[in-house]
Amino acid sequence: MEFTKMQGLGNDFVFLDRISSSAEDSAEDYPQLARKLCHRQFGIGGDGLIVVLPSKVADARMRIFNSDGSEPEMCGNGIRCFARYIYDQGLIISDPMLVETGAGILKLKLFIKEGQVQGVQVDMGEPILRADLIPVLGEGEPVIGQSIEVSGEKYLFTAVSMGNPHCIIFVEDFSSLDFERVGPAIEKHSLFPRKTNVEFIQINSPREITMKVWERGAGPTLACGTGACASVVASILNNRTERIVTVQLPGGDLFIEWGLDNHVYMTGPGNYVFKGNWLGL
């Protein structure tokens, strides 16, 4: 089975193209396939599996599966790779490009120089701030400065959805944070009925933050696009930054703007790693 490996700021994905190839997978295969293909030793390795599919309502459809097999609503780093892939394969050349996702139909603009895709700007749509839609068992809209207790320690968080749930916690410095313990404890905390991605944010200036992320269904990753968007929304809601912010991630920088139109715009790269053939042995 042919696949393409891609990455966006080190958040890496195995791509299966079900527009160009006639392979017949059934929908129930994907969670199991994601677990198998994403395994770092027994498989190809990746934070997730992305399936390229035809769409009746957009130029193409993206389905994303975390490495644990769960299917989230959206993936920010993944959709930038997706846009580059379908453009380079000549599958879609419309500008802007419309992609059907679990978080709705998103509009993407490709920055092309000498025929090469240099970067992608994604209109991520409007942030979801209502507790019941995130979902989080919390009060009010937005959910700001709510406390959560994990292993005897209390943290204040802000909850934002970009189609998928995010729990954002501001930290003074990362050295005092037990990331590997607190991350998974919050991911699976009962306050989040569908679990949650967890972002720890350090404010460097009104236009720059540093983010560490523990992803729902994937664990620690080098970058999270939806998480970077949610973190900028949370920073603005808490009056910590302006509306245009550079998000420094372990894998590189993302450029985020929460526009006055209430849409969040994310700009960043999408890159190839290799193509291959899964032998499944």
22 contacts: CB under 8 Å, gap ≥ 6: none
Strand partners, 149: 154
229 is catalytic: no
59 vs 215, which CB is nearer to ligand API?
A: 215
66 binds ligand API (CB under 6 A): yes
Q: Is 224 one of the annotated active-site residues of the chain?
A: yes
List the one residue from 197, 231, 235, 241 that touches ligand API (CB under 6 A).
Answer: 197
- Contacting ligand API within 262-281 (CB under 6 A): none
Q: Which of 38, 75, 81, 229 is catalytic?
A: 75
76-88 vs 225-237: helix crossing angle, rounded to 10: 130
CA distance 129 to 30: 30
Distance of CA 46 to the CA centre of its chain: 14
Residue 183 binds ligand API, judged by CB under 6 A:
no
Query: Concatenated DSSP letters for 164-221?
Result: SEEEEEE-S-GGG--HHHHHHHHHT-TT-TT--EEEEEEEEETTEEEEEEEETTTEEE
By the rule CB under 6 A, 225 interacts with ligand API: yes
Q: How far apart are CA 154 and CA 147, in angstroms?
A: 6
- Find out whether 253 and 223 touch, Cβ atoms under 8 Å: no
Side-chain-side CA neighbours of residue 240 (13 Å): 23
- For the chain, how far is it from start to end, CA to CA, in angstroms? 12
Phi and psi (nearest 5°) for 59? -70, -35
CB of 72 to ligand API, least distance (A): 3
164 annotated ligand-binding residue: yes
The single residue among 146, 164, 231, 235 that binds ligand API, judged by CB under 6 A, is 164
Interface mask (CB under 6 A) for ligand API, residues 121-160, using x and -?
A: ----------------------------------------
CB burial class (10 A; 0-12, 13-18, 19+) of residue 57? exposed
Shortest approach of ligand API to residue 64 CB, angstroms? Answer: 6
- Residue 215 contacts ligand API per CB under 6 A: yes
Contact stretch for ligand API (CB under 6 A) within 144-152, 216-224, 236-244, 268-276: 216-224
- By the rule CB under 6 A, 231 interacts with ligand API: no
Q: Residues 4, 7, 77, 121: which binds ligand API (CB under 6 A)?
A: 77
Q: Which of 38, 81, 167, 224 is catalytic?
A: 224
Residue 8 CB, nearest approach to ligand API (Å) = 7
Give the integer Cα–Cα distance in Å for 200 and 171: 6
Number of residues that bind ligand API (CB under 6 A): 17
Active site residues: 75, 224
User: Which residues lie near ligand API (CB under 6 A)?
Assistant: 11, 66, 72, 75-78, 164, 197, 215-218, 224-227
Report the binding-site residues: 11, 66, 76-77, 164, 197, 215-216, 225-226
Report the binding-site residues for substrate: 11, 66, 76-77, 164, 197, 215-216, 225-226
